[in-house]
Structure 1
Amino acid sequence: MALRPKFTVPKLEKASFKGWTFVLVAGTVLAVIALVTQGTGTTNETGCVMAVQGAAPLDVYRSASTQFEPVDQLAPGTLVDARPGMIENGFRALLGENRWVVNERLAATQGSAC
């Protein structure tokens, strides 16, 4: 006795990738991917993912100093990729060029090697 599949996958043809049906399906798939990955923006490239602590935004500087104006701000709870062991003057280097934040406002996430 042969088992029949419970559902069938439609045959993909060139016409399948046109119109609003495709837009809705693609949008749904992308939304599910964003929800599963939680839209963190981290790549875990360095193996060190850290969360911004506190209630106020965290300023990002271009050097390990507050001598210059901040170049960016990170919202509380934001996850960021940090460079393991790269701490100078109480500032930690983040992934990217010239991105430094106050180290005491960061906490390593579970499983990170920082």
Structure 2
Amino acid sequence: MAPKFKVPKLEANSFKGWTFVLVAGVVLAVVALFAQGSLSGVTNSTGCVMAVQGTAPLDVYRNPGTELGPVETLRPGQKVDAQRGAIQNGFRQLVGDQRWAINERLAATSGSTC
């Protein structure tokens, strides 16, 4: 039985022109999709993953208040690991060394138990 399709032999001229650009683009897009979770820093170590809501960046503080000023900024839509049930003064504790963000700007992602 003959094969249903033939895999072309890769030669030097296979890597020229728009065909190569298209194939390389598709490969890079697939790699980016698979790496999206691991590159974002979200590990789901606590079972609570939150996403930043709204269109403005969200500041992260060292304590559950704004008196010390922000130490980090999260992008709209960015996902972060959070401590389950750790809310004080309207701030939710995020995973990491003393990281707090305004709880009303965070929403649990699908499948999270926060």
Structure 1 and Structure 2 fold alike (TM over 0.5): yes
2:107 corresponds to: 107
Give the Cα–Cα distance (whole angstroms) in 1 for the partners of residues 99 and 32 of structure 2: 25
One-letter amino acid matched to 2:33:
L
Give the Cα–Cα distance (whole angstroms) in 1 for the partners of residues 45 and 32 of structure 2: 19
1:42 corresponds to: 42
2:13 corresponds to: none
Identity percentage of aligned residues: 65
Task: Report the CA distance between 1:35 and its aligned residue.
Answer: 1.8
1:62 corresponds to: 62
Normalised by the length of structure 2, the TM-score is 0.70
SS at 2:87's partner residue? strand
Give the Cα–Cα distance (whole angstroms) in 1 for the partners of residues 108 and 68 of structure 2: 26
Matched positions, count: 89
SS at 1:38's partner residue? helix
1:8 corresponds to: none
One-letter amino acid matched to 2:109:
T
Q: Does residue 90 of structure 1 match 2:80?
A: no
For residues 16-31 of structure 1, what are the structure 2 equivalents within 5 Å?
A: none
Which digits, 9 at most, give the CA deviation of each residue in 1:26-75, with x for residues without a partner?
xxx99755421424320000000010001110000000001111000000
Give the Cα–Cα distance (whole angstroms) in 2 for the partners of residues 31 and 41 of structure 1: 19
